[in-house]
Structure 1
Amino acid sequence: IPPALTLKTVVDASYRPAWWFNFLTHEPLSFASLSRYSGTVADLINSMFDPTLTFEDLDWLRSVWKGNLVVKGIQTLDDARKAVDHGADGIILSNHGGRQLDRAPVPLHLLPRVAAELKGKTEIILDTGIMSGGDIVAALALGADFTLIGRAYLYGLMAGGRKGVDRTIEILGTQTARTMQLLGVNRIEDLTPDHVRLLGDATADVKLPDAAMTL
């Protein structure tokens, strides 16, 4: 960004005169958040985040903010415990889509341990890797209260704007219902960890229900 004008661009645009006209007569695409910043993206990120933050800072935030407080980026059970102990109303198990570290822990694998200890004490939200209704069902079965679907809805937004987002939600809803039907489950409340089998799970030899998903 902005797009580069190359020979291939010209050839492609020749078949789409309306797009070609818009491309030449409108301002170049840019990131609004970066338009007034002269440094690199890395410099901007470094200026926005303070690496010295600790859970004690969460105590301060809790003292000045009386609304719901949710902490995103939880990747260990210990951090989940600390977030709740320091006043978080909800925690989001997330590796931010692997953007920061592509070998970060998979939140779905962490979820069962967090749910076993903290279910009912805080809202448990799963982020990262939710690309289908089956993923949503797996997360709910393993103890999440709900999931985020950031990347999935963005695909719909890019493809069709508001209608694309609506269509994405419709597809996810249909897939969720179909997955539950195939598992023989009528209500979300009836989903249990027994309906999911994680690859590499040490309990792989445990007898599973007749209908279970392998992830």
Structure 2
Amino acid sequence: MTWTSQFGKGSGWLLQKIVNGLAISKISPNVLTFIGLIINIVAALFFGFARGDHAVRYFFYAGLIIIGAGVFDMVDGRVARQTNQVSVFGAFFDSVIDRYSDVCIFFGLLVFYARGNRLFYVGLVAFVMTASLMVSYTRARAEALIGSCKVGFMERPERIVCVILGALCNRWGVMAPALWVLALFSTITVIHRIRYTYNETERRKRLNLA
């Protein structure tokens, strides 16, 4: 067994223990989802208030806080399934709160670059924020038309990991290239989903005409 598989097994065991504890507490999964948003807002504040000598430290703290928020993002659905609280509204609420969490994080970065008068990166963060939302929007609209659209690489977990790496390693200036990676691959994912939806709708049109 490799060390990566051992780590995955150990993480899964720990995550299940957390889920078991939360299930016993009878806390609503929607509350867990909302707590994740609050934690991400705290991370955004660390990004926004990072300045001068403490910027690297604040970015590092923000990265750790986003990891904490990710735990809530991972357990809310599991708690819902374990406590038989799965609902259509719960899935909808989780999706909406995820979008707010994404915007909060990128808004914090936008404020950081704006306070430093780095206008180019203000524009880049704004573009990344828009592209990230479009990744989710194109999937939602496509699935309303064709049922499933899970193509594309830059899903939300990949985006969050990219931001975390940028934050934790910003001592070496990693956040800037992380934003470029997000901008590029989010845009590619949007284009991929547009093309996939076009091909799928055209295929169905031909089938209906046949």
| Higher CA-based Rg | 1
Q: Using CA pairs under 8 Å that are at least 6 residues apart, name the structure with larger relative contact order, 1 or 2.
A: 2
Higher normalized strand content (fraction of residues) = 1
| TM-score, with structure 1 as normaliser | 0.30
